[in-house]
Amino acid sequence: MANHPSAEKRNRQRIVATERNRAAKSALRGAVKKARAAVASGDAAKAKSGTLTAEKALAKAASKGVIHPRTAARTTSRIAKALAKSAKA
């Protein structure tokens, strides 16, 4: 347990940041899941808009430090690749 005022403050900050990051990650996972589902469904317009939404959410999460920038880039790339593959077929 924290015994110094500075350590107590860091603990409070940690709790707030953890909750904020948890909410952001949850929303991000939902956006990515919807994008993948839209690409799999075959509806081109829905897939395109879902992909754009997911890309925006990934970029925002990476810029805020919620996820690693390379994780965001890799996920964005995979979704875009899947979209291109579905559009081609």
Round to whole Å and give the CA distance between 24 and 31.
11
What percentage of the chain has pLDDT greater than the value 90? Answer: 91
pLDDT of residue 2: 83
Residue range 47-75: mean pLDDT, rounded: 97
Q: What's the pTM value of the predicted model, to 2 decimals? A: 0.86
1 pLDDT above the threshold of 90: no
Please give the class, per CATH, of domain 5-88.
Answer: mainly alpha
pLDDT of residue 25: 97
Tokens standing for residue 84: 């291109």
Task: Answer whether 15's CB lies under 8 Å from 54's CB.
Answer: no
